[in-house]
Amino acid sequence: MRLGTTQSAIARLEGGGVSPSLSTLRRYAEATGTKLHVELVAG
C-alpha cells in the first residue's frame, strides 16, 4: 500500500474509529494525491 499500513487500519481511519495523528493525515493526503488543510476557528 502507498500509505504503508494495512487495509484494516485504513478502514478504521476512514470509518472514524481512530483519532489519527497529523503525520498519519499527511501521509494519507500524499498517498491519495490530496492536500491536508488544518484550520482552527473560533467557536
Q: Are 18 and 12 in contact (CB under 8 A)?
A: yes
How much is the pLDDT for 40?
95
**Per-residue pLDDT tens for 1-39?**
577 778 888 888 889 888 888 998 898 899 889 999 999
How much is the pLDDT for 39?
96
How much is the pLDDT for 42?
97
Nine cell digits for residue 23: 503525520
Nearest-angstrom CA–CA distance, 43 and 39: 12
How much is the pLDDT for 16?
87
How much is the pLDDT for 33?
92
How much is the pLDDT for 18?
86
Domain range summary for the chain, segments of one domain joined by +: 1-43
How much is the pLDDT for 1?
53
